[in-house]
Amino acid sequence: MAHPFETLTPDLVLDAVESIGFLSDARILALNSYENRVYQVGIEDSEPLIAKFYRPQRWTNEAILEEHRFTFELAECEVPVVAPLIHNGESLFEHAGFRFTLFPRRGGRAPEPGNLDQLYRLGQLLGRLHAVGSTRPFEHREALGVKNFGHDSLTTLLEGNFIPKSLLPAYESVARDLLKRVEEVYTATPHKNIRMHGDCHPGNMMCRDEMFHIVDLDDCRMGPAVQDLWMMLAGDRQECLGQLSELMDGYQEFHDFDPRELALIEPLRALRLMHYSAWLARRWDDPAFPHSFPWFGSERYWGDQVLALREQLSALNEEPLKLF
């Protein structure tokens, strides 16, 4: 059977945008997105719009609208975020079986790895994000946990025959050992789940005119605050300690942080490693994935994954980062 996104042609994209009252100039540019499909669409006598078409059957309408409400809440509190456009009182639209949302176009560049001045400002931005996120929970979005990001990911990989037979015993063994250790640390570490970005890598914190803004809240969910912080760090342990200090100096101007959560950095990194492989596996029926990730399934990829999980297991037994 054809994948649903195969029917999302340029003409359908233009028809969808025009179906709610915008007049396109027929210019369309596909942007770099795999989970959903995102296009820049030219608009007559106006700035182009960004049209995001949601992956069918991933989120319920309630979960998508909850993401939108969170974004609007951030914007109302003057947190710089790219929020969906509201048109005729709505932010989620449907055309030809696809749900889509429109955004204003706002470009920018990702932060420079290890730039301490930028990390201070990113900490301020994330503190403001979490100050809003901590005021109430999500009702329609799952929380990040060891089961859904760890055990369920392993089940997907083992049952889907994605791992070469020659590496299957090694991968399964180290993955189960790693998840056991992750569960131990999770259980022993006090933490509070709040509404967070959920996929806060540097590419989702864009800088324009010396100001940072947040983009792409598609993965927002409940989880520990440190999940949105650790991906801002880069380099060896000593470098990360200095970066963490700058990040937290900015963060704690706007929101309190429980330093005990730092013990979750390596468990969260482990879960992200496993979840990423499972994400590729779950999306393999989408033609964009075999085309863009041809190395998935190769012995080299899975050999590297076995090594990465072993290194991560070792990292879990080291002393966590600390604030000074």
Q: How far apart are CA 242 and CA 225, in angstroms?
A: 19
Can you tell me which residue has the tokens 């927002």? 220
Q: Which of 253, 179, 192 is nearest to 227 (CA)?
A: 192
Please give the positions annotated as active site.
199, 216
Query: Residue with structure tokens 């806060």?
Result: 200
Contact indicator for 172, 307 with CB cutoff of 8 Å: no
**In angstroms, rounded to a whole number, what is the distance separating the alpha carbons of residues 140 and 137?**
9
Tokens of 20: 């709610």
> Angle 264-267-268 (CA atoms, 0-180°, nearest 5)?
80
Residues 111 and 118: their CA atoms lie apart, in Å, by 7
* Cβ neighbours of 50 (radius 10 Å): 20
Q: What is the β-pairing status of strands 193-196 and 98-104? A: unpaired
Cα 45 off chain centre by = 34
Task: Write the single-letter amino acid at 30.
Answer: A
3-state helix, strand, coil in the chain (%, to 5): 50, 15, 35
- Given a contact cutoff of 8 angstroms between Cβ atoms, the answer to whether 17 and 10 are in contact is no
204 labeled part of a ligand binding site: yes
Give residue 271's identity as a one-letter amino acid code.
L
Q: How far is CA 209 from the centre of its chain?
A: 24
To the question of whether residue 216 is assigned a binding role by annotation, the answer is yes
Binding-site residues for Mg(2+): 204, 216
